[in-house]
Chains A and B, each alone.
Chain A
Amino acid sequence: MIVQYENIIIKTISRILIPFIQIYALYVIMHGHYSPGGGFQGGVILGASFILLVLAFGAEASQKRISLKKLTVLASLGLLIFSGIGLVALLMGGNYLDYGKLPLPLESIPKIRAMGILGIEIGVGIGVMAIMITIFLAIASYETEGKND
Chain B
Amino acid sequence: MIWSLDFILLIFVVVCAIAAITVKDLLSAVIILAAYSFFMALLWAAMGAVDVAFTEASVGAGASTVFFIAAVFKTTRRAKG
The reply on B51 being an interface residue by CB < 8 A is yes
B4 sits at the interface (CB 8 A): no
- CB closest residue in chain A, given B68: A139
Interface string of A128-149 (1 = CB under 8 A from B): 0000100110011010100011
Chain A residue nearest to B45 (CB atoms) is: A36
Q: Are A48 and B58 in contact (CB under 8 A)?
A: yes
- Tell me if B75 and A139 are in contact (CB < 8 A): no
Main secondary structure of the interface of A (DSSP, over half): helix
Closest to A142 in B: B74
| Cβ A48 vs Cβ B74 within 8 A | no
Interface magnitude class on chain A: 20 to 34
B33 to chain A, nearest CB (A): 16
Given contacts A44-B58, A48-B58, A48-B63, contact A139 B51 (CB under 8 A): no
Known: A132-B63, A135-B67. A40 touches B74 (CB 8 A): no
Distance between Cα atoms of A144 and B75 in the complex (Å): 7
B66-A41 in contact (CB<8A): no
Closest approach, in angstroms, between the C-beta of B73 and any C-beta of chain A? 5
Tell me the A residues contacting B by CB distance below 8 Å: 1, 28, 36-38, 40-41, 44-45, 47-48, 51, 55, 132, 135-136, 139-140, 142, 144, 148-149
**What is the interface of chain B, defined by CB distance below 8 A to chain A?**
50-51, 53-55, 58-59, 62-63, 66-67, 70-71, 73-78
